[in-house]
Amino acid sequence: MAVAELLAAAVRARAQGRCQYCLMHESLQGATFHIEHIVPRSKGGASALENLALACPGCNLRKSDTTTGADPASGEPVALFHPVQHVWSEHFRWKGHEVEGLSAVGRVTIVVPSWFLRLRIDLEEG
């Protein structure tokens, strides 16, 4: 197995079939999830296990190359959620059909790339 294949297999195993950003299971999505760079290569991110995440197409495309944003509560710059270094439940929780940010990281991640907007709309319509 090539190095890239080994890395992809390790990312998929760690994620257990779930998007590491919104926690949607790949079996609920009509498309294959992406192996994405948490810190994009364009911003110096490495193709290493600690910088790779499994992402649903919606989260991957909305995140794009975004890595930081302003916390809506304080206005301070904050890094977005890092699915390998952070614990999801420390930064987010479900509130009905919406994901709520519990920390500056959570608030910025929800507001800056609007990741969870499409998920919330899909749940409400579904």
Give the pLDDT confidence of 14-26 residue by residue, as tens digits.
999 999 998 999 9
Q: At 14, phi and psi to the nearest 5?
A: -60, -40
Residue 49's closest CA among 37, 34, 32?
A: 37
Which is higher by pLDDT, 32 or 119? 32
Ranges of each domain in the chain: 3-125
Across all residues in the chain, what is the average pLDDT? 87
| % of the chain surpassing 70 pLDDT | 87
pLDDT computed for residue 112 by the predictor: 76
Residues 23-43 as b/e (b if ≥16 CB within 10 A, e otherwise) read: bbebeeeeeebbbbbbbeeee
Do 51 and 38 contact (CB within 8 A), yes or no? yes
Tens digits of residue pLDDT in 30-70: 889 999 999 999 999 999 999 999 999 988 888 888 999 99
What pLDDT, on a 0 to 100 scale, did the predictor assign at position 83?
Answer: 96
8 A C-beta contact, residue 115 and residue 21: yes
